[in-house]
Structure 1
Amino acid sequence: MTTKIDLPSTSSSCPPFRKLTYDVFLSFRGTDTRTNFTDHLYAALKQKGIYTFRDDEELNRGESIGPNLLEAIEESRYVIVVFSQNYADSSWCLDELAKVAECRRAMGQTVLPVFYHVDPSDVRRQTGEHFGKAFQEHQERFGGNPDKLQRWKDSLAEIGNLSGWHLKDGYESKFIQEIVEKIFTELNQIIPIYEGLVGMDSHLNEMLSYLDIGCPDVRIIGICGMGGIGKTTIAQVVFERVQAQFEGCSFLENVREVTEKQGAVHLQKQLLSDLLECSVNVQNTKKGKSIMRERLRTKMVLIILDDVDQEKQLEALCDRESFGPGSRIIITTRDKHLLVEGDKVYTVNRLTDDEALELFRMKAFKKDQLVREDFLELSEEFLKYANGLPLAIKVLGSSIRGRSVKLWSSALKRLEKNPPKGIIDVLKVSFDGLEKSEKKIFLDIACFFKGGYIDHVTRILHGSDC
């Protein structure tokens, strides 16, 4: 069985001046675990995109470890120490561990011990059949260097007393998954995945409450709003934050566009490939749905279906019964009607005035730039045009960045006659998706009733059989 050991730890976050080259450094006894447990752990970390240092050299080592290895320890955010039965036999491993303990104390390095078929108390106290015997031999060999021996003992006591995992007789794959999930989740929390995204904290908190990860039912969550409002960005941030908590994940971007160009079968293949991590042959959508139901019904997965605009896309990709307990499907769409079968719908609103100004300043001005009063006055005019739409604010701000007041004024005058193509292309998708009669009503309102009262316009349109 595997047992999680929770003991006090004094490690802290690394000082800002510390150079970090690796996410993880693996310390292990090569003859014990190089080709089995440590190799599988290394592969799992690598598969998650976690940059890991593993010493692959089988060398006739001397009494001290080389400078490259010392440097790798110093430049790693995490150190995983795999205490195996013969770990303490190696003076090389013990020197490595002493360096790890030193870095932990001096730089706040996070150290995670793994007790691989050894008793944690034997590690801490250097007792038992393996660690006790090893130190008897070291005493004979290094008795003339008591400082070295004491440094090794202190390091084993310190690292052996940290929170870690104890593998006794359980499944190693599950054990490795726990370790990787912990590191992956923590790395995602410290990486600024939404740096520069205004108002993202509130979006993320709301979505996390809707997802309620850990609840065993399969949930479908919708993110709804007009084009350019930020639906896809919110989905991306949520995906990065929570994906490590699932057995498989898939982010299908631009479902509408991909369906038009390549068909729903292409998306089914991609979904199955992402979740099963292998190529899957799908002849048609019916076959794809059958494969999903058979292969994914016990798997807890996270799926993002981005920019859905037709019910048939959901029929091909979003059968609730096809996924295992605890699975979560997030759908972004402009059409709230498509989310009637969902459990929750998060409607994305326009930015507040303060948020809009913050985003515009980020795009239109250089960092820490002193902004003159005339620029601020023109900024307000641009923001009136953008009306809280993040896409419009980004496009407008970027287009005038670094330009003179005169060019800002000129750009402002051109807006009503010639809006930026980047904005028109996104908004036009919504218009193209309307029925013929709906397009007619839209154009009538845009051309003849702009600024009119809703009740008055509604009566006129009803009177004309629209």
Structure 2
Amino acid sequence: MMQGLSTAIAKSVIHHGRVLGRNSQIIQTLRPPCEVFINHRGAETKRSIAGLLHNFLSLLDVHPFLDNRSMKPGDKLFDEIDAAIYGCKVGVVVFSPLYCESRFCLHELALLMETKKRVVPIFCDVKPSQLHVRDDLKHSANNLQRYRLAVEEAKNTVGLTFYSSKGDWSKLVRDASDAVIRNLLEAEEEKPQLEPKFAQSTE
């Protein structure tokens, strides 16, 4: 299965490379260290969609952030993650059955929403209606409200739905990368254009 997936991804890289190549000047302009932040619950999705998408985007010369692959020993966890979120253009949020049990996931999601980043939700083995932040005393009242608002906003954002028992992993990676690249290009187009500076006459 993994060999077939690798072949499919390799073919997709060639296709996406051609598409991305036509827009390389846009993507390269003022490129930040992190362009795409991948928010996920590691125990459920790091070795599947989160890891696959990180590899695929890296092959396309897009700069994704995935905690265990983007940080090195000695880095301060929250400082690095928060900086990556502030600096990114697009967030990919991989929802999974136990996603809302992780305060780390919820913190990252809330920060993505509060900083008005473009977000691509992927509902992996879970329906949007099944995502709820419980009031189990793990969160302060303020954070509980932030997390619930962020989850609701993500649930009301058009995303991708995938069930691992019957889904096509290579298609999911292609579809997710398509959405990421489209949002990156649109984010660049929305950036305010600097007014041209004209040399003043000394006459």
Normalised by the size of structure 1, how large is the TM-score? 0.31
Alignment map for 1:8-157 (pairs within 5 Å): 20-56=32-68, 66-104=78-116, 109-123=117-131, 126=132, 135=134, 139-142=135-138, 145-157=140-152
CA distance in 2, matches of 1:187, 1:77: 7
Q: Report the 3-state secondary structure (helix = DSSP H, G, I; strand = E; otherwise coil) of the residue aligned with 1:43.
A: helix
> Moved runs in structure 1, 4+ residues, more than 6 A?
none
8 A Cα contact 1:48 1:184, kept in partner: no
Cα distance change on mapping 1:102 and 1:19 into 2, 3 Å: farther
Q: Report the 3-state secondary structure (helix = DSSP H, G, I; strand = E; otherwise coil) of the residue aligned with 2:106.
A: helix
CA distance in 2, matches of 1:54, 1:31: 13
Give 1:147 shift.
2.2
Letter in 2 for 1:119: K
CA distance in 1, matches of 2:86, 2:35: 11
Letter in 2 for 1:116: C
CA distance in 2, matches of 1:28, 1:187: 20
Ranges in structure 2 where 5+ consecutive residues have no aligned partner? 1-29, 70-76, 190-196
CA distance in 1, matches of 2:95, 2:56: 19
8 A Cα contact 2:34 2:63, kept in partner: yes
Q: Report the 3-state secondary structure (helix = DSSP H, G, I; strand = E; otherwise coil) of the residue aligned with 1:112.
A: strand
- Paired position in structure 2 for 1:164: 159
Cα distance change on mapping 1:190 and 1:97 into 2, 3 Å: closer
CA distance in 2, matches of 1:97, 1:191: 22
Question: Deviations for 1:106-153, whole angstroms, at most 9, x for unmatched residues?
Answer: xxx201111011001222xx1xxxx6xxx2xxx33337x322222211
Question: Deviations for 1:52-84, whole angstroms, at most 9, x for unmatched residues?
Answer: 111007xxxxxxx61221111010000000001
C-alpha root-mean-square deviation of aligned residues, in Å?
2.7
Cα distance change on mapping 1:185 and 1:158 into 2, 3 Å: closer
Q: Report the 3-state secondary structure (helix = DSSP H, G, I; strand = E; otherwise coil) of the residue aligned with 2:37.
A: strand
Letter in 1 for 2:100: A
Give 1:32 shift.
0.3
8 A Cα contact 1:19 1:75, kept in partner: no
Letter in 2 for 1:142: K
Alignment map for 1:313-392 (pairs within 5 Å): 368-369=198-199
Percent identity between matched residues is: 25
Structure number with greater CO (CA < 8 Å, separation at least 6) is 2
Count of paired positions: 157
Which has the higher Rg, Structure 1 or Structure 2? 1
Give 1:368 shift.
2.6
8 A Cα contact 1:120 1:166, kept in partner: no
CA distance in 2, matches of 1:183, 1:369: 39
Q: Report the 3-state secondary structure (helix = DSSP H, G, I; strand = E; otherwise coil) of the residue aligned with 1:66.
A: helix
Letter in 2 for 1:121: S
Q: Report the 3-state secondary structure (helix = DSSP H, G, I; strand = E; otherwise coil) of the residue aligned with 1:34.
A: helix
Q: 175, 180, 201: which one pairs with 2:177?
A: 180
Give 1:90 shift.
0.9
Alignment map for 1:197-216 (pairs within 5 Å): none
CA distance in 1, matches of 2:92, 2:59: 17
Letter in 1 for 2:145: Q
CA distance in 2, matches of 1:40, 1:19: 22
8 A Cα contact 2:57 2:63, kept in partner: yes
Give 1:186 shift.
4.5
Letter in 1 for 2:125: H
Give 1:182 shift.
2.7
Letter in 1 for 2:34: Y
